Every structure is written in structure tokens, then in C-alpha cells.
């Protein structure tokens, strides 16, 4: 049995090219029947004629000499489903006892203008029919089965409803056929595709396919599914690369048709949705197969007949397609039934011999076109290649099976009612009119569409769930349809779609899950941004913002922000650990600032030594040498206090930084203020006696320094008591580093301390400015003025610069301001005095004061 499953490719002989060469019996076609008390008319698309060169026939109008016959052997399963259902019902003693079902089988031609021919033959019983004549004698017609095209069902339905004959369709559900006002006798076995668009879009989202093409039938069904798909795609940001509405008529083979095929091939969309029935898009599907369009993933709404008999390529354009099919239980009994089918078992069947002749090389008898006996006795339909015939029940076959049972149950219910009113005796043949089945059929139809009927009789039901089928056809000829998932619209959100991705075989062009987007995939370090003026699914790739990454997953809409302890590398695809740092002494900047602080503190100490050594000289004594000593000692502290800002901060250094800085500079500025007051009092206030003048000067200097210093100490105490400075981290000042520094705690307190110092500097500047024109032999008023001006300028400039910098630069800026203001005080106040003491000792004499005082008074006069 296994060896037959891979029949050599030579068995797949194209039936159209070699029919006349094999046997004329191959072209002998006639409709056949299966006898019964009650007959069902079956109209199935089993074969059609077509022309290639369109050579007009010499005698017959609207005919061609180069007519070719094409059998649709895959549709032969429809016949077997009909036979299987009828035989199963006839064997059932509890369903239609004493009544047998039969059928009349007719082919549906490909050309719609000939559709009603066989329908009239079935109604009248005459090959050369006459309208309203009925030559049937024994059989009673109960219903008709039509499909798969809605157009065929609509044409036949228009005729049958005149006779009120029930019509059951096994094609896809159609809204026009559902119009009870127009088709009063028609019942559709297929459920509505209310959730198909949601299922397709859910599949798109699962694989992140946001750029897809649409091939739809150019009719009301195509317009409706287009509306539904647009709505679902809009909600889920899936965009349409193109929409092609394809006509299902022969006019489709036009320039526009071939342009559509070209647009499909040239489109950047790798996923294309096809919606329609097999008949409507037959030409398009056939030409796609011939052109070997293998670079597309086709998402379909039904298991198309995509078999192409016209080539021997191992590639198939539809390999890897995904098909949405209504869920139904697999029927094992039907598969077993197919294995028993033989031409000898059904001698009235005119299609079975052709299958045996074509695939098993069984010859025809020249007398009656019957197969010769004992040809391939072990041959079976399940040995045929799946691309030619599939033994698993298809969706349409299931609808046929279901339709037959619906007719049987309706007929059974009507017979029971007739028995109850004793309309005929047991031996009498059943008599009824077809329209009498409508009440029962309507109940079955309505209950079936709410999915609550025939469960006990039919043992399974069709629900709203879709099976997702993957079509395997590589190498060409395998023709397997494998269930890879399902879609349940009634399931909770997020659980509706279920897929086994590792079972899916993709088209041969793809080695992994295909991508279908209208942009280049954004790799690590990039993120997607919407392109202006284009569809919402089209993106540009832009670099991730500062300190954000997109990792190996790639193709991200948003970059991920690195934690504060990490930073993004230059490629923006990894977060790296930041280095902890601070303004330490090994830094060039820290080393330079600490060197300057130590150097100037040494210079200040040297100046103090000079002043102490020359303490009795007039220039030292002239401006209160005690204040000079205090100022020099304070400046040494100021220089050294800058070292508290360098090195790894801790709680103690953070508190000492601000308090030492504030108090030391308060003492220094208070001393300068006292010096300025000394000059003003010495030259502006007149008291009798030198002793009184000395007392007043001493009293002023004694109270200025402690009072202003005490106020600053109180202010610092409030600062430390409410929101003291603390150790903090700055993760953003320097890329790749975490700066450890001291947080001021209270910015208001810090600015109050700084404002207090600037107020003292401004007061000292005012005092010094008032005494700038006094006799200046040893008058330091001008130097005090310049020092305060520089001090004030340094700290006023410090504020905007300080707030515009971060990290170590901000700390270095504060250190620089401390050093600069300290150097200004040291340079402007003490440099001129040291110059006189060390280089001009001849001017450091008392009579110089007197001479200069006299000179000043003469000038004043």
C-alpha cells in the first residue's frame, strides 16, 4: 500500500493533451443516476470544455473546432460524498424505513449561459425538454443540490423556486442567496463567514505581517470582505499593499488581468490574501501556478483546487499556503468507504472508469466503453496522488453529506405526519410534493445556524471555529493539507488563535518565517518611526535616543531605556555598567585645583610671616595689624577649605564643605568691612585726643567680625537642622559614569549663605568706595574696593555657570570660585604692602604719612 502513495510522475498524464490518442471512450460523457423511491437532483462541476485557438466550427454556431475536455477529478469526491450519505441513510432502519433515496447527477458547465440546460432536463425528464412538461413516471423529486459557485446556485434557484422545489447549496455562504424574499426555496449549508476577517488579521498579527496584498472577486462578496478586512486592519494597524478586484468571467483574461498578475509579482508584499470560490478566480489561480510565483505566502478562505496539470516542475506556487476552513470532525467512515469504491461496484458511474483508465492504465472495451475485467484488482482511489484526488472529506463534501441528511430528516418528519393522519396505506408508495418539505427544512436550517440541531443523528456538528490548513506540495505531487492551528472567535481575547508554527512549511524561497512589511527591518540600535505621508505601517529606521537601546529582538517600535546604573553603548544595542567616579586628586582637574589651593595657602602663610616680622613698621600698623592677621589666617582657611571638595565625598566632608566655606568667607569679608570702617573713621571723624580715636576704632573692629560671623553661624545651623547636605549620585552628567558628589540639601539655604556673603562684599565695597579719595600713602581703601569688586563679580558670575554645569565640572566650578575670590582678597589687599615691605623699604617710614597727608590736604585746598 505504501509504495502506491508515490506513483511515478508519468501517471500524472495531462488528460487534455492525450485523450484522443488514448481512447475515444475517455471523452464519452453522460449523466448517470442511482435509483430510489425519492430522487435528489445533484448539480456538480465535474468537467468542462474549453478552447485554446478559438477556431470557429464550420457548421455549429458559437462552437469551436478545437474544443478540449477538462475533468475536475478532485470534485469527484462530491459524487462519492453523495453516494456515501445516501447508502448510509438507506441502510438505517430508523430513518426513512420502506423508502429509498436515489439521485440524478448532472454536470454544471463552465459557461453560465448553459447552466439551466441540465436543470430543465432534470425537471422535465426529457433531453429535448419543453417547459412545464414532466415525463417522469415513477420517481418523485425531493430536492436539488447545487454548488460550488454562488452564480450557478442563483441561476438554478431562480428556476427551481418557480416550482417551489427545495434547493440546498454546498458552496460558500453568500449574502445574496440568503435573501429569503428573492430565493424562497434555497437553503445554504455553509455557515456565515462572520469571523473570517478577524481570523485572517489575527494571523497577520501573529506573524507580524503588516503589509499584505488582497485578491478579491469583483462582486458583492469581494466588496463585503474588503470592508470587513479594512475595518479589522485599521484597528490593528495592518496595511494593504494593493487591492485587486478580479472578475470571475471569461472577460477576466484581458489586459487588466495580466496587469494584475504583474502587480502581484512586483509587489513588495510577501503575503497575499485570496478570497473567493474556486470557480470565480479559476483563471487567476491557474496563471499564478503557471508563472511559478513561489515567493509569496497565500492566505486563502477555502482549499482551492490549485493543482496544475500543465507542467512537470517540482515547484508549486501554492506550496506553503495557509487556508482557513470551517472546522468539522474528520469522518473516518468516509475514508474507508472511498477505499472500497471500484468501477465494478458502481457500473452506472461514468467517471470512475476514466480515473482507472488514466491513472491505472486500464483499457476500455471497444464495444461498450466498459473497463476490461480484472484490471488492477487491488487499485483504489486512496492510491492516487493527493493533488489529483484526496480521500479526506473536504469542506464542500461535508456540506453535501449534511444536505442529504437534512432532506432525509425532513422527508422522514413529513412521512410521520402523513402516517399519523393515515393518508396512505403501508403498501402504498409515498406520494408528496416537494414544497411539503419546506416547513421541516426551515426548522432544520434555522436550528443548524444556531448549531443546536442534528447532533444526535449526525454525531457531529459544524461550529464557528476555523481550522488553519497548511498546503504541502513540495516536491510537487504530494498535495498534503496539514492542520497547523485553529481560530475560535468565541475564545477569550488572546486565546482565539492557536498555531503550531514548527509544523508550517513555507514557500521554498523562505528559510524562516517570512516577513511582509513595507520597510526594511530595523536592526539592533534602531527603532521604527512612521513615514510622513505614507501608510501607518510604513516606517523609517531611526537611532535610539540617548541612553536607550533596542536589543537582539530588533524591529522595535520603542527603545528600552537603560537603568541609571548603566549606559547605552555606541551601537545602542547593549546597556553597559557605568563607572563610579568623583573629583579625585589623581584627576588632572583635581590635581590642578589642589595644587593651586596649597600653593596660595603657602603664599598666604608667607605673607602672614612677613607681616608678623614687620609688625612694627608703619605700613603694617597703619590699617590695624590685628585685622590683617585675622584676614590672612582666614584666607589660609579659605584656600584649604577648597580641598574638602576634592576626593571621595562622605557625609562629614559634605557638611564641612558648605559650613567651612560660608563661615570662613564671612570672617574674611567682615574683616575687610572692619578695615574699611577703620579708614573711614580714621579720616572722617574728629575727636579730641588720640586716645579717644583709638578707642573708637578698636570698638568698631571688635564688634563687626563677631556680629556678622554669628549671623552666618545661625544661618548655617538652620541649614544643617532642616535639610543638611548629603552624599548624592549624578548618573547623567558624564556619559558612562556615575558621579559621586555632595548634594546641597536645601538649595534655598545655599543661596541664602551665598547671598549673605555677597551682601557683606557689597557693604565692604561701599565703605571702601567712600574712602577711596582720602590720603592714600598707607590708605588701602582703593585696594579694598578692587578686591570686593572682584569678589562680588566672581560669585555673581558663579551662579549661572554653576547651574549650567553638572557633575565634576560643577564641583570644580565651585572650587575655582573659592580660589579666585580668595586670590582677589590676597592679591589686591596684601600684594601692594608686601611690595613696599620687601622692595621699597624706604617708603615704609612714618614721615611719609605726614608728608603725604600734607600733600593731600594741599590738594584738597
Q: What pLDDT, in 10s, does the model give residues 661-706?
A: 889 989 988 888 887 777 666 665 544 445 445 545 556 567 788 9
Bridge partners for 68 per DSSP: 50
**Whole-angstrom Cα distance, residue 125 to residue 220?**
35
**Whole-angstrom Cα distance, residue 403 to residue 171?**
11
Q: In what order do the strands lie in the sheet with 466-472?
A: 239-246, 211-217, 271-275, 297-300, 322-326, 466-472, 480-487, 497-499
pLDDT < 50 regions, the chain: 1-22, 250-253, 307-314, 449-462, 686-689, 691-692, 695, 848-861
Q: In this structure, how many other beta carbons lie within 10 angstroms of the beta carbon of residue 115? A: 21
Tell me, what's the pLDDT at 852? Answer: 45
Q: Which of 360, 248, 306, 617 is nearest to 477 (CA)?
A: 306
Tell me, what's the pLDDT at 20? Answer: 33
**SS3 state of residue 325:** strand
CB-CB contact of 323 with 298 (8 Å): no
| Grid coordinates given for 165 | 422545489
CA triplet 199, 204, 210: central angle to 5 degrees?
A: 140
Beta strand 38-44 with 140-146 is parallel
Tell me, what's the pLDDT at 15? Answer: 38
C-alpha radius of gyration, the chain, whole number: 52
Tell me, what's the pLDDT at 10? Answer: 30
Tell me, what's the pLDDT at 601? Answer: 93
Beta strand 47-51 with 67-71 is antiparallel
Buried-state track 646-674, b at ≥16 Cβ within 10 A, e below 16: beebeeebbbbbbbbbbbbbbbbbbbbbb
Q: Which of 304, 268, 302 is nearest to 288 (CA)?
A: 304
| Grid coordinates given for 461 | 456538528
Tell me, what's the pLDDT at 24? Answer: 76
Tell me, what's the pLDDT at 860? Answer: 33
**Whole-angstrom Cα distance, residue 41 to residue 34?**
10
Tell me, what's the pLDDT at 384? Answer: 84
Tell me, what's the pLDDT at 13? Answer: 36
DSSP secondary-structure letter at 474? S
DSSP secondary-structure letter at 790? H
What is this structure's pTM? 0.65
**Whole-angstrom Cα distance, residue 90 to residue 82?**
12
Buried-state track 784-797, b at ≥16 Cβ within 10 A, e below 16: bbbbbbbbbebbee
Q: In this structure, how many other beta carbons lie within 10 angstroms of the beta carbon of residue 456? A: 6
Tell me, what's the pLDDT at 553? Answer: 62
726 φ, ψ to 5°? -150, 165
CB-CB contact of 200 with 264 (8 Å): no
Task: Tally the residues of the chain.
Answer: 861
Tell me, what's the pLDDT at 462? Answer: 45
Q: Which of 118, 135, 106 is nearest to 46 (CA)?
A: 106
CB-CB contact of 379 with 336 (8 Å): no
Helices (H), 421-480: 438-449, 455-458
Written as one string, the DSSP assignment of 702-751 is HHHHHHHHHHHHHHHHHHHHHS--EEEEESSSSTTEEEEEEE-S-HHHHH
Q: Which of 209, 195, 218 is nearest to 301 (CA)?
A: 195
Q: Which of 271, 227, 233 is nearest to 245 (CA)?
A: 227
Give helix then strand counts, H and E, for the chain.
22, 25
Q: What are the tens digits of pLDDT across the range 589-638?
A: 889 999 999 999 999 999 999 989 888 888 887 767 888 899 899 999 99
Tell me, what's the pLDDT at 793? Answer: 84
Tell me, what's the pLDDT at 603? Answer: 93
Amino acid at each position: 500500500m505504501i509504495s502506491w502513495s508515490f506513483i511515478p510522475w508519468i501517471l500524472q498524464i495531462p488528460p487534455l493533451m492525450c485523450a484522443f490518442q488514448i481512447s475515444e471512450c475517455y471523452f464519452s460523457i453522460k449523466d448517470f443516476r442511482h435509483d430510489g423511491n425519492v430522487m435528489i437532483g445533484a448539480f456538480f462541476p465535474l468537467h468542462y470544455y474549453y478552447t485554446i485557438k478559438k477556431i470557429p466550427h464550420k457548421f455549429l454556431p458559437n462552437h469551436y473546432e478545437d474544443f478540449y475536455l477538462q475533468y475536475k477529478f478532485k470534485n469527484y469526491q462530491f459524487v462519492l460524498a453523495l453516494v456515501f450519505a445516501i447508502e448510509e441513510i438507506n441502510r438505517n432502519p430508523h430513518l426513512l424505513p420502506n423508502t429509498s433515496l436515489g439521485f440524478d447527477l448532472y454536470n454544471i458547465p463552465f459557461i453560465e449561459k448553459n447552466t439551466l440546460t441540465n436543470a430543465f432536463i432534470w425537471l422535465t425528464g426529457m433531453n429535448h425538454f419543453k417547459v412545464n412538461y414532466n415525463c417522469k413516471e415513477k420517481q418523485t423529486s425531493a430536492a436539488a443540490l447545487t454548488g460550488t459557485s454562488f452564480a450557478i446556485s442563483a441561476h438554478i434557484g431562480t428556476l427551481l423556486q418557480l416550482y417551489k422545489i427545495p434547493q440546498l447549496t454546498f458552496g460558500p455562504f453568500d449574502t445574496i442567496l440568503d435573501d429569503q424574499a428573492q430565493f424562497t426555496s434555497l437553503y445554504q449549508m455553509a455557515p456565515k463567514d462572520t469571523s473570517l476577517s478577524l481570523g485572517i488579521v489575527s494571523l497577520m498579527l501573529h506573524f507580524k505581517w503588516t503589509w499584505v496584498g488582497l485578491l478579491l472577486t469583483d462582486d458583492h462578496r469581494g466588496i463585503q470582505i474588503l470592508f470587513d478586512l479594512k475595518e479589522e486592519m485599521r484597528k490593528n494597524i495592518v496595511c494593504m499593499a494593493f487591492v485587486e478586484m478580479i472578475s470571475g468571467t471569461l472577460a477576466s483574461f484581458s489586459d487588466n488581468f495580466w496587469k494584475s498578475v504583474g502587480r502581484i509579482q512586483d509587489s513588495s508584499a510577501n503575503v497575499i490574501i485570496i478570497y473567493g470560490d474556486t470557480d470565480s478566480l479559476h483563471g487567476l489561480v491557474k496563471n499564478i501556478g503557471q508563472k511559478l510565483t513561489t515567493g509569496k505566502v497565500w492566505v486563502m478562505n477555502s482549499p482551492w483546487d490549485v493543482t496544475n496539470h500543465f507542467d512537470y516542475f517540482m515547484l508549486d506556487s501554492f506550496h506553503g499556503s495557509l487556508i482557513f476552513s470551517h472546522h468539522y470532525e474528520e469522518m473516518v467512515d468516509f475514508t474507508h468507504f472511498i477505499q472500497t469504491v471500484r468501477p465494478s461496484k458502481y457500473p452506472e458511474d461514468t467517471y470512475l472508469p476514466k480515473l482507472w483508465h488514466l491513472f491505472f492504465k486500464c483499457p476500455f472495451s471497444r464495444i461498450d466503453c466498459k473497463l476490461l475485467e480484472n484490471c488492477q484488482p487491488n487499485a483504489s482511489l486512496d492510491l492516487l496522488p493527493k493533488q489529483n484526488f484526496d480521500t479526506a472529506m473536504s469542506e464542500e463534501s461535508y456540506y453535501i453529506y449534511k444536505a442529504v441528511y437534512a432532506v432525509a430528516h425532513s422527508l422522514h418528519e413529513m412521512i410521520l405526519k402523513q402516517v399519523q393522519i393515515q393518508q396512505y396505506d403501508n403498501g402504498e408508495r409515498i406520494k408528496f410534493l416537494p414544497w411539503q418539505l419546506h416547513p421541516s427544512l426551515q426548522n432544520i436550517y434555522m436550528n443548524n445556524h444556531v448549531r443546536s440541531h442534528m447532533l444526535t443523528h449526525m454525531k457531529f456538528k459544524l461550529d464557528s471555529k476555523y481550522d488553519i490548513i497548511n498546503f504541502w506540495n513540495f516536491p510537487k505531487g504530494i498535495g498534503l493539507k496539514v492542520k497547523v492551528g485553529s481560530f475560535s472567535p468565541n475564545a477569550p481575547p488572546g486565546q482565539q488563535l492557536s498555531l503550531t508554527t514548527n509544523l508550517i512549511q513555507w514557500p521554498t524561497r523562505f528559510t524562516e518565517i517570512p516577513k511582509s512589511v513595507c520597510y526594511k527591518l530595523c536592526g539592533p540600535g534602531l527603532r521604527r518611526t512612521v513615514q510622513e505621508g505614507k501608510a501607518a505601517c510604513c516606517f523609517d529606521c531611526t537611532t535610539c535616543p540617548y541612553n536607550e537601546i533596542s536589543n537582539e529582538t530588533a524591529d522595535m517600535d520603542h527603545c528600552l531605556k537603560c537603568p541609571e546604573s548603566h549606559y547605552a553603548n555606541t551601537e545602542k544595542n547593549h546597556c553597559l555598567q557605568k563607572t563610579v567616579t568623583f573629583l579625585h586628586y589623581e584627576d588632572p582637574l583635581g590635581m590642578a585645583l589642589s595644587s593651586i589651593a596649597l600653593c596660595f595657602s603657602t603664599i598666604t602663610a608667607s605673607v602672614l610671616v612677613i607681616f608678623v616680622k614687620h609688625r612694627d613698621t608703619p605700613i603694617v600698623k597703619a590699617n590695624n595689624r590685628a585685622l590683617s592677621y585675622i584676614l590672612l589666617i582666614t584666607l589660609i582657611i579659605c584656600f584649604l577649605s577648597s580641598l574638602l571638595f576634592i576626593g571621595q565625598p562622605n557625609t562629614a566632608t559634605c557638611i564641612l564643605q558648605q559650613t567651612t566655606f560660608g563661615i570662613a568667607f564671612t570672617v574674611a569679608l567682615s574683616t575687610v568691612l572692619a578695615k574699611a570702617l577703620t579708614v573711614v573713621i580714621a579720616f572722617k571723624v574728629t575727636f579730641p585726643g588720640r586716645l579717644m580715636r583709638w578707642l573708637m576704632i578698636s570698638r568698631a573692629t571688635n564688634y563687626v567680625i563677631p556680629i556678622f560671623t554669628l549671623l552666618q553661624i545661625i544661618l548655617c545651623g538652620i541649614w544643617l537642622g532642616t535639610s543638611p547636605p548629603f552624599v548624592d549620585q549624578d548618573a547623567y552628567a558624564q556619559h558612562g559614569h556615575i558621579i559621586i558628589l555632595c548634594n546641597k540639601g536645601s538649595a534655598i539655604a545655599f543661596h541664602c549663605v551665598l547671598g549673605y556673603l555677597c551682601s557683606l562684599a557689597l557693604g565692604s565695597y561701599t565703605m571702601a568706595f567712600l574712602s577711596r579719595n582720602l590720603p592714600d600713602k598707607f590708605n588701602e581703601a582703593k585696594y579694598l574696593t578692587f578686591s570686593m569688586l572682584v569678589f562680588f563679580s566672581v560669585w555673581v558670575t558663579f551662579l549661572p555657570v554653576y547651574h549650567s554645569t553638572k557633575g565634576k565640572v560643577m564641583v570644580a566650578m565651585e572650587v575655582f570660585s573659592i580660589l579666585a575670590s580668595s586670590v582677589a582678597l590676597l592679591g589686591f589687599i596684601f600684594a601692594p604692602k608686601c611690595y613696599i615691605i620687601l622692595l621699597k623699604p624706604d617708603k615704609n617710614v612714618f614721615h611719609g604719612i605726614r608728608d603725604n597727608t600734607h600733600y593731600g590736604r594741599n590738594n584738597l585746598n
